[in-house]
Chains A and B, each alone.
Chain A
Amino acid sequence: MLISEFYEARVRDLMDIRVWDLPIIEKDAAIPLVLSILDGKTHVWVVESLKTKELVGVITRHDILQILAPPRTYYGVFSLPKLYHHGIEGRAEDIMTKHPITCRPDDTVADALKKMIRHNIRRLAVVTDRTIEGELTLRNLISKFYKATQYYPLNEETPR
């Protein structure tokens, strides 16, 4: 059964490993740079430095919605809200979501999919010891699964 095979597949086999092509910026990057990346991508991973690639956050288009939307009523009474910046002043770390949800290369796809549903997200950073090694996006998974239905092995780009 293809779907069972899909669930049991390892993240490392299906993830996007082109680290050089991943949307990654340093936490000190200016917000206009973030906007320019999100003009074309749905998200950008934020790292401590491009050299170490230690993952510290993620910025999605939804985070930018908070920057663009007019200030709203805050209804929280007992909990500390996330402070939203308005406008383009500030750095990537001011608007990022800290501690993004991640998975490991050895995790199964089923576990990764459960994480996506549980956290209501469409992408996971694949990390080893806090260093980003790639990403697993819903788009990746759809593409791989579609190809698998067209007689490609799940983890290869050539037909079987």
Chain B
Amino acid sequence: MINYLLLGGLAIGLGLLIGKGTHRLRVTGVVGYIIAGFILGPEVLGVLDLAAAEVETVTNFSLAFVAFVIGGELTLTLMRRQGRSILAIILGETLGAFFMVFVFVYLVTADLPKAIIFAAMAPASAPAGAVAIIQEYKARGKLTNSILAVVGLDDGLAIFIYAFSIAIAGGLLATGGFSAASMLVDPLIDTGGALLLGLAMGLGAAFVFRRLVEREEIIAVALTAILLTAGLATLLDVSLILASLAMGMTVTNVFPRVNRPVFDAVKVISLPVYVLFFVLAGLNLHLGVLAGAGVIGVVYVVCRSTGKLGGAYAAARATRAEPVIARNIGLGTLTQAGVAIGLALLASTELAARGYPDLGRLVLTTITATTVVFEIVGPLATWFALHRAGELGQQ
């Protein structure tokens, strides 16, 4: 019998340890957690060798948890305060990355579902890398505020784009070609159903949360809501991650101030969930696949970068944002970490379930490897942008 408790302890413990080490090297802890998973996984020690269903269960729970937390950040007040040009920049950089990756991966592979899936990974950015630079160099100014707003808010849109795209890709893989069902009906049912489910669950949860006082109760009810939403999404075959995002958004927007402690309480228990999640991503890293992913990896890195830079610039110019923002904002959005890996892990389990495990492994391995690249390049690009804008303070 597999000793899951021992394995869980090993996974979280080693993940934290190596994550602490990568933090010291100024690389996000996410990379450390993934390395821990890789070491424990079949490619090195072989200690952790879980069945697909076990990985899927933990992944689905973690992603539902993550999406709930991200949704909790997306308050309407915050979005209204950002103004037209920030919202346009978010739209520009996410869609720019999506379309650049889509077009060039398709040109290289001539494989439409593959191009759509890789493109769906591209929009997500990671706030931690940008925040680290801003914090360390005491950056302050209009560009600094804009970068924080963009990297903090674009994950919600990235998840929506993913949910829509994966439904299209799934339809194409199932039918083997274009059809009204695969291109429009299925994605609309998948995303629309998820949004309705999240809205309904969020409304119910918001009213319950409002009456709770003790933090322990709040955490217990939050986990109940997350598990029920994820379970129902699976049962109804709609996007689990989008349903959870919509649930978090609803909870935070129905009673914004009253329900703020819900997300504070949930964040307290978030670190071990995140560590376990990324360790599982590391388990699925395959060096053999990595070697084969070289060309797609390079295309992905180049096209995601140019798409984000170009999309952000075009949107900023179109909305007459200040030149200092238009010229530099794209550089602050290159970081990639948690959400992209989460989406890749979700895509890989969904693809494996549909009978395409090799494509799933390729997606996960490529996104994980490119995350390392973006986590090194992204913060440097942010530093350069802030330096060029003259917003760096003293170290």
Contact = CB atoms under 8 A, between A and B. Distances in A.
Interface in B66-81: 66, 69-70, 72-73
A10 B72 CA distance: 33
Interface string B243-285: 0000000000000010011000001001100100000000000
Given A83-B134, A114-B213, A118-B213, A77 B30 contact: yes
Nearest to A87: B138
Size class of A's contact patch? 20 to 34
Interface stretch (B124-132, B303-311, B320-328, B384-392): B124-132
A117 B261 CA distance: 11
A151 interface: no
A118 B219 CA distance: 12
Nearest to A113: B213
Contacts of A81: 127, 131
A78 B257 contact: no
Nearest to A119: B261
Interface string B195-214: 00000000000000000111
Interface stretch (A30-38, A68-76, A141-149): A68-76
A152 interface: no
Contacts of B132: 74
Consensus secondary structure, chain A interface: loop
A44 B134 CA distance: 27
Contacts of A84: 135
B39 interface: no
A52 interface: no
A73 B23 contact: yes
B135 A78 contact: no
A4 interface: no
B232 interface: no
Contact of A78 (B260, B261, B339): B339
B148 interface: yes
Given A78-B155, A114-B213, A118-B261, A83 B135 contact: yes
Contacts of A114: 213
A114 to B, nearest CB: 5
Given A77-B338, A78-B66, A99 B257 contact: yes
Interface in A50-85: 71, 73-81, 83-85
A17 interface: no
A77 B337 contact: yes
Contact of B73 (A79, A99, A119): A79
A119 B23 CA distance: 31
Contact of A75 (B214, B271, B337): B271
A101 interface: yes
A71 B395 CA distance: 12
Nearest to A84: B135
A73 B20 contact: yes
Interface centre among A77, A79, A84, A114 (most CB of B within 10 A): A77
B271 A117 contact: no
Contacts of B127: 76, 79-81
B131 A80 contact: yes
B113 interface: no
Contacts of A77: 28-30, 66, 126, 128, 274, 337-338
B152 interface: yes
A9 to B, nearest CB: 19
A117 B214 contact: yes
B69 A78 contact: yes
Interface in B144-169: 148, 151-152, 155
A79 B152 CA distance: 7
Contacts of B212: 118
A52 to B, nearest CB: 20
Given A79-B73, A99-B257, A119-B261, A74 B131 contact: yes
Contacts of B151: 80
25 contacts: A74-B128, A74-B135, A75-B29, A76-B128, A76-B267, A77-B28, A77-B29, A77-B30, A77-B274, A77-B337, A78-B338, A80-B73, A80-B131, A80-B152, A83-B148, A84-B135, A86-B138, A89-B138, A89-B393, A99-B257, A117-B213, A118-B212, A118-B213, A119-B260, A120-B215
